[in-house]
Amino acid sequence: MANNQPPTTNATRKDKRIERDENRGQWKSKSEFILSLLGYAIGIGNVWRFPYLCYRSGGAAFLIPYLLMVILAGIPLFYMEILIGQFSSTGCTGMFRMTPLLKGTGIAQVVVNAYCVCYYSVIISYPIRMIFYCFFKKVPWEDCSNSWNTDDCVTASDMGKQNSSDVFKTSADEFFHLEVLRISTDISDLGGMVWEQLTALIITWIIIYFCLMRGIKSVGKVVYFTVPFPYLLLFILLIRGATLPGAWKGIKFYLYPEWHRLLDLKVWADAAVQMFFGIGPGWGGIVNMASFSSFRNNAKCDSVLIVSINVFTSLLAGFVSSPCWVFSLKNRAYPWNRWPLEELDWPSSRIRRPLPCCLSRSSGRSCFSLCSFCWASTVCLYNWRPSCHRYWMSGIG
């Protein structure tokens, strides 16, 4: 029987591809795509974790293994995921149709993102709640005169008067644990509902809803604010940090190279983990956002540009944070040097301990605290948005 169907030509395949792209939707401009990827790739891991690893892993010497990991693994992985997204025009589950054996990988990405959405939303609600306290006449973590403070509470200005054997807690630490979290004394005590925190959590979900309610149409508009705005706040905090007493010594501790640390395999492992933690390949977000890009988009230039800005932001963040907490840990002349380095290995602890204490000692404390928490909430929200977007798009991708 004769085949009456017309032969498939390159033009026919091109028309099908264009029709598929139009049905799925595309970014209205190249800038929306670039800003969206920048917002995904730059987050708390760049601004807090990277400076900490530099200090712990040999200062400027840490840049050698980190840059090698970025060049040898970070850029190629970023480039590959953009290409897969552009070629397949589908999400992290649909892209594995080309290799059905690995279909479970896409499903696993959706499950992991669903899990991260649940716990990360709570972390985001912390700085959002802190923003409201910045409008008070006196920030509540400034002193120990509040109802939740204990006898062990000390302010940042009084920590230098304490003996090394004394047991004490900073006013910022007690504010976070006893007022924000209201942690119970025993695991059997569930405690009551923290309505303020629940309100902040609801506000977090409402913001994400409005960012995603029209898909990439609304996301493409939101990125024009959520990406440049944190950089503005970062430069404001950079100027404030540079004017702190002893700031240059803190920067020296941040950049001073300890070359012998390059012989430590843990330093190289930390560099590899930071590359994945900072750039974010393997989560499905890059593929998902690239699937809305043009089929013939120059993915190579985009990958190099975004990863380069990511590295620059990490380096810049060290100059912001080192005057506040790197120098405070290293120099015994400063009263807030009592925190063990291991206790600062958590982004939330860095937000609630050294930075609030440092800003509460400076003039314009409410203004700079507001900038700090606005920056944290904006970056966290935009880092969290791709996870929600991936989870939502997985059903139709």
The encoded tokens of residue 357 equal 């204490």
SS3 label, residue 155: coil
The encoded tokens of residue 391 equal 């989870």
Give the Å distances, CA to CA, from 161 to 153, 335, 352, 355: 13, 8, 22, 20
Query: Sign of torsion, CA 73 43 24 34?
Result: negative
Tally Cβ neighbours within 10 Å of residue 277: 16
Asked whether 187 and 367 are in contact (CB, 8 A), the reply is no
- Is 149 annotated as a binding-site member? no
Considering only CA atoms, which of 146, 197, 196 is closest in space to residue 175? 146
Q: Which helix (H) or strand (E) holds 152?
A: none
The encoded tokens of residue 281 equal 């390949």
Asked whether 113 and 391 are in contact (CB, 8 A), the reply is yes
Amino acid at position 96, single letter: F
Considering only CA atoms, which of 173, 309, 180, 322 is closest in space to residue 241? 322
Amino acid at position 237, single letter: L
Give, as one character, the DSSP assignment of residue 153.
E
- The DSSP result for 9-43, as a single string, is -HHHHHHHHHHHHHHH---SSHHHHHHHHHHHH-S
- Is 104 annotated as a binding-site member? no
Considering only CA atoms, which of 131, 116, 128, 133 is closest in space to residue 203? 128
- Is 41 annotated as a binding-site member? yes
* Residue 154, strand partner residues: 170
Rounded to the nearest 10 degrees, the angle between the axes of helix 299-321 and helix 247-255 is 130
Considering only CA atoms, which of 360, 382, 384, 386 is closest in space to residue 130? 360
The encoded tokens of residue 247 equal 């700031």
Binding-site sequence positions: 39, 41, 46, 310
Binding-site sequence positions for Na(+): 39, 41, 46, 310
